[in-house]
Amino acid sequence: MRDKDEFKPFLELCPSCFLRWMKVKDGHCSSSFIPHPSSLIPSPMDLKQVAKDTAKTIVSYLTYQAVRTVVAQLRETNPPLSIWLNGFSSTGKIQDGEVYLQELLEANQQLAFRVMTVRAHLAEEISDFLPEMIRTGIQQANVEHRRQYLERVTQLSLSAPLSIAEPPVDSEPGSDDSDESI
């Protein structure tokens, strides 16, 4: 079990180094060592691929949100078309926004253009603050996860019975042994 003081080094470590420290402290280092974060950073080519994949996911999500917006608008103005678009969109094709739009273009050009217009508007509206929101959201979530983990680990160590050493009791009250050495 760990003492609370044992976690003080955590405050000075980056998250990855903390995980490495936890592995070493738990004695699991020999079988599952966590490498230092510098060895986990993807190469520049990999970062470009991560960025492309992320952009594709965001574009597909904006397509999904645009479809939801158009369905809601049509529910008010043209309920039968709203039902049709909702049915067309519920087949799972919407997972890839570009494939979905290609198929929607073939099925109903006017709706496809409307979805693309709404999607472009959404992208324009969120593009200014989305990068900062992502960074902040990830940082806050990571801090919260680490906090919860530390609370859980320290609660485990505090729930174990502690043996508190009692100070030695003098044989005679009021006697001062330090004077005898003079």
For 9-39, the pLDDT digits (tens) are 444 445 555 455 445 444 444 444 455 555 6
Q: What is the 3-state secondary structure (H, E, C) of 123-148?
A: HHHHCCCHHHHHHHHHHHHHHHHHHH
Where do the domains of the chain lie, and which CATH numbers do they carry? Answer: 8-41 (no CATH), 44-126 (1.10.1200.210)
Q: Quote the pTM value.
A: 0.60
Percent of the residues in the chain that have a pLDDT greater than 70, as a whole number: 61
For residue 170 the two structure tokens come to 């003098």
Q: Is 22 in a helix, a strand, or coil?
A: helix
Q: Does the structure show a pLDDT above 80 at 122?
A: yes
Q: Is 39 in a helix, a strand, or coil?
A: helix
Q: On the CB side of 29, how many CA atoms lie within 13 Å of its CA?
A: 12
Distance separating alpha carbons of residues 126 and 110, to the nearest angstrom: 25
Distance separating alpha carbons of residues 67 and 90, to the nearest angstrom: 11
**Which residue reads 């004077």 in tokens?**
179
Q: What is the pLDDT of residue 170?
A: 57
**Which residue reads 């996911």 in tokens?**
57
DSSP class of 2: -
Model confidence at 155, in pLDDT bands (50, 70, 90)?
confident
Q: What is the pLDDT of residue 135?
A: 93
For residue 7 the two structure tokens come to 């976690």
Taking the CA atoms of 157, 158, 163 and 168 in sequence, report the sign of the dihedral they define. Answer: positive
**Which residue reads 């004695």 in tokens?**
27
DSSP class of 14: -
CA 150 to chain centre: 17
pLDDT tens column, 53-108? 999 999 999 999 999 999 999 999 999 999 999 999 998 788 999 999 999 999 99
For residue 105 the two structure tokens come to 């273009």
Least Cα distance to 108 among 125, 91, 89 occurs for 89
CB 14 within 8 A of CB 164: no
